[in-house]
Every structure is written in C-alpha cells, then in structure tokens.
Structure 1
Amino acid sequence: MNAASPFAFIDGALDRADHLRDDPDTLAALWPQARVVLLEDDGRACSGDNDALLAPTGEMLGGGPGTAIFLGLHEGVAWFAQRANTVAFDAPGRIDLRAAATRWPAFESTVFAQARAMLHWHTRHRFCGVCGGELAFVRAGWLGRCTQCGSEHYPRTDQAIIVAVSDGERLLLGRQKNWPPRRWSVIAGFVEPGESLEQTVAREVLEETGVRVTASRYVASQPWAFPGSLMLGFLADAGPDIPVVGDELDDARWFDADTIRAGLARDWAVGPEEDEGGIALSAPMSIARWLIQSWLASVTR
C-alpha cells in the first residue's frame, strides 16, 4: 500500500484507455512489450521469488493478445490479464490478493485487483442469461456478446455499503461466526434493486444489529475484488439502541474509544494464543479499518 491512500487498490490505477478496446491492431502492436498478469482460476496470481509480481512480457509468451484481457496503459506500456493455464509459462509461486496488497507496491496490487475482478467475471459469465447461448468476449475482454441471440453483457460490479455507526460516544461493531476469535468490524451489506445508498445503510444496520440509523453520509469507496464488489463507505449516527443480532452476525456491540484505540494498536492478525485480551480489528488494507480510524479521530479531537 502507498502512503498516499488510506487503503489498498486505489493508488496507481491504470489509464484504462477505453478507445483501444476496439483497436486490435494497436493492441497487437503493443503486445510484445506489454506486461501480462497471469491468474489461476481461483484468483491467485503467478509470482516469482519472495512472492514478487511475475508479469512476463507478451514477447516472452509469444503470439498476440488473443483471449487476454486488456487492462490499460501505464507509462506507455500495455497491461493485460490472462488465465495461467492458457499459456506455456512456468512460475515458481502463487499469491492471493490479500497477501499481495500487504507486500506489493500500490500500483502492482491495484493492477492485480482489476485483473482478478475481470477474470472472475469471465469465468462466472460464460453463457447468456437471456437464451443460454455461449458468450464470445470482444472489446479486448470487456464485452460478452451472445453467439445465439446477440445480447450484450458487461462486467458486473456488486455495490455494497460499509458503515461506521456511532451513538456519539461509542462505535457499533459486529462479528461473523466464521471470523477468528475477538475479530470485529463495521457493518456492511449489499445494495438491493430500487434502493438508495442511504436506505441500504439504514436497512442493513437494522437487519444485522437492530440499531436504527438516524443520519448517514458518504465518505469514500474502495474496489473490493473478493470477488467483484465496490465498497461504498459511510459514517452514520444512531440512537443508543441495544444491539440485537439477526441471522448474519454472531454478535454486535457498542465499543468505547479506549477499546477501539487499543484494538487499532494491536496487530490485526494476532491469534488468540498470542494475545488473550482485547479486540482485533480489520486489516490495514481495508476501508473498514479506515472508517474505524476516521470515527476515532472524530471523537477524540
């Protein structure tokens, strides 16, 4: 991650160069010097020694762009994403996006996130939702066109809100059943059809915790390629309702500023056998942690 951004997958974004998606001749000319991020079907990237990014050039892979997805340009160099099992290239390692976000430079992890989201869309949308026909990907991988009925399908991004809810003195946090012991985070949930973002904030918080939001405001967003979401960050006010969890959370509680401050000071990855007290909060790469930090700053100024 780069210090310029408070969380991952923001800094170093490519120039997506939309005008080149319909220009196969130019993409073919850029291919020999292009960098290609190779991805397994499970979303992991091929890596080199010490888990560093391994993005061979098009010349090393041979041929032309073919089925590779054009991601964009950086300093005149084209970047593509390609399924690793479609090329003859040996890589010593594999790395997942969460690990890469903590180890790679911001530019590289941001490119990886874009590549992973696009690969997921390709692998999960191979057939037309209208007639069931097979999709042919055109526009350098950014458009799926049905080979039977001609319907067009575009990359999907699932919008989700993520919100730090405060009663003025305390922060509302929840925890899921499958999380490590003592791990807590802010409330999140997907936007439903016909719903504004503010309505989603109020509904999700009420459904998951029983707490009623009285006001909310948007503050920032983060692409979240796990597998293909956009996290829309909010700060919200609520009354001092007693949390009552629904089906999605294992627990929800109000925490005071001292407890939150101690949680932020603790290593987020510490296991229960290493530290028997306090709470552990979201990873530094996430907008969730930034929202928690933003709330703490607002109540301790």
Structure 2
Amino acid sequence: MKKIIALLVLSLTIISCNTSSKKQDLSYAYTGVNWDKYEGHTVEISVLDSTVARVHAVTETVFIKNGAFKIADTLKQIRNAYFGLYTPKGDFVYKQEFILEPGSLEFNLKEGNEKSTISGGKYNDIIYTSFLSNTDYNLKNKTFSDYSKTLTQESFQVDSVRQKYSKLSKIVQDLKKEHYLNIYNNKTDSITSLLAFSKLGYTDEIEQFLDVLEKQFGKGNPEIYLARNTYKMIRKSKTMTKSVGVGSVIKDFSSKNLKGKTFKLSNVLKENKYVGGSEEAFVKLDELLN
C-alpha cells in the first residue's frame, strides 16, 4: 500500500490533460463473431451508475443472428462498461468488463472460450488485452478459478477453505492492482489514468487522489461521480456496521443487480451466512449482488 501511495503522489506532478481543439468522433461500431451457440440470445451494453438501480443500459437490446451481432451508436463518454449476454427470455447469462470507447471492437467467442476475446480499441488494448495475455496472471487466475469451482456453501464454512480461497484471491487481485497502477502512472493520457484509477480499489489513502482527476474532468464526469458515491456508500456501510450489534435487525431494502434482477437484502443475508462489515466484506457483498 505504501508503494501504491508513493507512486500516486509522484504521479500528481506529471498528470497532463491531453485535450484537443478538434472535436473527437465518438461513434462506434462493435461486432460479434462465432456466437453460434448463443443463437437467438441478446446482448446489451451497460455502465454502472450511483442510483438505486445501479445499472444503466447505453444501447438497445441486439439479437444474435447467424452467430453474429452488430452494435453501432455514438457514446457520450469513454467509460468502464459491461457487455451483457441474455437468453431469449431475458435471463442473465454472463457479463464481461470492457471499455466503452469510439471506433471498432470485435467480440470473438472463440471455440472453447467461456467469454469473448475483445480486439481493437486503444483503451481496451491498454486496460485489458495486454494484461489478459500475461502468462503469470493466467496461470494464477486459473488456479483460483479451478479452486472456486470446487467450493460449496457448506465447504466455505470451513476456516481452512476460506483462508485458501482468500489467499488465492489476493494473489490474483494483487496482480490486477499492479497492472492498473502501472497504467495509472504511465500517463499515456489522462483518460487512461481515469479508467485505471477506478480499478485500484477504494481505500481512504487513495480517495484523496480523486481531487486531481476531478479538476481535469469535473464533478459531473460519470467515472468521478461514481467513485465519489462509492466512497460514500462504503462509509455509510461502516457506520451502519458499528451501530448495529450482532443479532440486531437491519432495515430491509430492494434493488437491482447488474443482471437486472431485483433482490432483497434479507434474501442475500439468508443465502450467504458470511457477510461482514469491513471494506473487504462490503466489496464481497457487492460481488454477490452482481
């Protein structure tokens, strides 16, 4: 953490906003190939927001036909986004992170792959493609993924199992943070730094560096706005945890997750016995809801 903070402090002096008087073309055309096994399914692009719904579709629903699809539109902001796949009945299948950016992207569901390979796009190459080809990361991520698949709700109650899960998860997360930190400090351009910053995690030490990005992009930038409100949610969660004792009743509420399904807090707590009040547990709960 000290290393991260030191690098972030150093980076404050070299951030530059690469703007141009020429208006940027924000149109995009995304295509999908080799999606034959999901014929008739639909795809949609969504971004996180800070409302109760927590998600916002930025495209019309598009059908997969003859193993392919095309999504074309004009975006308002370059953003961290999610590509969502749904059954013909509208049931969620999976989501995949990517960068919503202008230009052309290809979502290729190569044979044997669980998720598509994304090619094209300056920011997708920097944030995802280069990292996903890293051999060390792929090996460690596979180890974690394979172990996770063996777990059940019952086995996760065993301390040694949870400890191994946490250890393998931390190894993967640390590699990701190192990757995003390098991107943030590389300063290819200010947008790259903004996109990577939101993936560094939410800690008190890092929050202060949002001020620099906010001066460049403004409070109204959706990535800045989302980060600020995420910190507020974390602090609120910590306050609630301190004020609610073990066995106390927490006021129930309903919302939607990234799958578009409505959930109730009471049901989540009922189905997942391990829900703590630390920041790590808050993120874990967020993962469960997503």
TM-score band w.r.t. shorter chain: under 0.3
Query: TM-score normalised to the size of structure 1?
Result: 0.23
Query: TM-score normalised to the size of structure 2?
Result: 0.24
Say which structure is richer in strand: 1
Which is higher, the Rg of structure 1 or of structure 2? 1
